[in-house]
Amino acid sequence: MSSAYLFLVFLVLLYACGSTPKKLSRAHGNNDTTSAINTTKKDTIPTPTPPGPGLPAGQAKIMGEIAEVEMPGKAKSNLFTIHIMEVLEYGTSTSPIVTGDTLTIHAPDFVKNNGPEIAKNDTVTLIIQENLSTNSSNHPSWSMVKLEN
């Protein structure tokens, strides 16, 4: 009798354990146990727009004060010297520029095409290009690409 009793208890437990998930899924209207994973809520955090393209390689955007402007007709015309106040942006593989440093900038198109005039002590924002092939001390290592203000 004890083995029949144990067999009966085993069958009751087997039936109870086997039917529990089915009863729960029917009660919640689910067809499978992974439906809770498949019913996620929509993300409410807005996705930021990706940043636009940066500066090209070898360029930097700087803000500084004009220290000296060479007049056209001199031996070193089309040059000006700028005291760096802030480096705003770097392109890839651009050499570092130190805030507080002074750079000599070559600006052939700026002077030849009668671009906007700049004067000593003007604060300007520029995009400059590193001259990679400069081996001479007569030619500055930076050229102006664009005057932004």
Mind listing the pLDDT tens digit for each residue in 77-124?
678 899 999 999 999 888 899 999 999 988 865 554 445 567 888 999
How many Cβ atoms from other residues are within 10 Å of residue 135's Cβ? 5
Q: By residue range, what is the domain housing residue 24?
A: 2-38
Q: How many domains does the chain have?
A: 2
CB 120 within 8 A of CB 69: yes
Judgement on whether residues 72 and 118 belong to the same structural domain of the protein: yes
Strand partners, 89: 61
The answer to whether residue 111 is domain-embedded is: yes
Which 8-state DSSP code applies to residue 21?
H
In a domain, 84, yes or no: yes
- What's the pLDDT tens digit per position in 120-138? 889 999 999 998 765 555 5
The DSSP line for 62-127 is EEEEEEEEPPTTSTTTTEEEEEEEEEEEE-TTPPP--TT-EEEEE-HHHHHTT-----TT-EEEEE
